[in-house]
């Protein structure tokens, strides 16, 4: 009888220990997932992108500056906005940095290679603001930067992804996304000038 009680005690103890270990492992796993989630939350300054020549650019180099991120295209009805973006760059370049991201997501209006895009921009519009390699700004292959720009769980408030070429995202001096402007809002529009001068 004593042996039976002893064996039952050992079995009960082993079962409790296993349950305790399962709970502990569950807590560790949950904590690990939480830490992983915290590590994957990024700010604008955490991204590294490639410029139009293929060089890596860490966006932390723009800390303390206002930034306008624009998805651009060479064969769009809004393509003449390149001229206004360059004008904005020339008149307000000491207050804001324009970053152009070519994208072929809308109507196949940016079919060219990075080299062809660079030649088009500089040759036709004298673009001197930073241009980056062609990326996807929507869909399953959306670039990580554009995921951040269009996901409020990452940027804090905005779920609006580009609806067409030449949509504009305004980031303040602290790296926080503050405004989204549709394609039809001209770069020299009073609405944009106001946030630059504020």
For the stretch 41-75, pLDDT in tens is 578 999 999 999 999 999 999 999 999 999 999 99
* Residues ≥6 apart with Cβ < 8 Å to 34: none
Per CATH, the number for 44-197 is 3.40.30.10
What's the CA gap between 84 and 95, in Å, rounded? Answer: 16
121 noted as active-site residue? no
Sequence-ordered strand ranges (E) for 90-152 = 96-102
Arithmetic mean of pLDDT, 169-180: 96
* Residues ≥6 apart with Cβ < 8 Å to 114: 52, 53, 54, 102, 133, 134
The pLDDT tens digits for 89-118 are 999 999 999 999 999 999 999 999 999 999
Catalytic residue among 16, 76, 121, 167: 76
| Distance, C-alpha 146 to centroid of its chain | 4
Contact between 118 and 131 (Cβ < 8 Å):
yes
Task: Name the residue ranges covered by the structural domains of the chain.
Answer: 1-40, 44-197
The pLDDT tens digits for 178-191 are 999 999 999 999 99
Q: Give the model's pLDDT for residue 3.
A: 54
């Amino acid at each position: 009888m004593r042996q039976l009680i002893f064996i039952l005690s050992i079995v009960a103890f082993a079962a409790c220990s296993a349950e305790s270990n399962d709970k502990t492992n569950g807590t560790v796993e949950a904590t690990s997932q939480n830490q992983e989630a915290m590590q994957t939350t990024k700010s604008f300054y955490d991204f590294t992108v490639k410029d139009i020549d293929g060089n890596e650019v860490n966006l932390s180099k723009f800390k303390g500056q206002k930034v306008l991120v624009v998805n651009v295209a060479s064969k769009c009805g809004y393509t003449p906005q390149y001229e206004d973006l360059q004008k904005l760059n020339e008149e307000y370049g000491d207050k804001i940095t324009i970053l152009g991201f070519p994208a072929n997501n809308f109507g196949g209006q940016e079919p060219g290679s990075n080299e062809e895009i660079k030649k088009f921009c500089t040759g036709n519009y004298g673009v001197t603001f930073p241009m980056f390699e062609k990326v996807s700004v929507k869909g399953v292959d959306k670039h990580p930067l554009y995921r951040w720009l269009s996901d409020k769980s990452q940027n804090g408030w905005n779920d609006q992804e580009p609806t067409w070429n030449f949509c504009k995202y305004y980031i303040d001096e602290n790296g926080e996304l503050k405004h989204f402007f549709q394609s039809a809002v001209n770069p020299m529009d009073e609405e944009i000038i106001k946030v630059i001068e504020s």
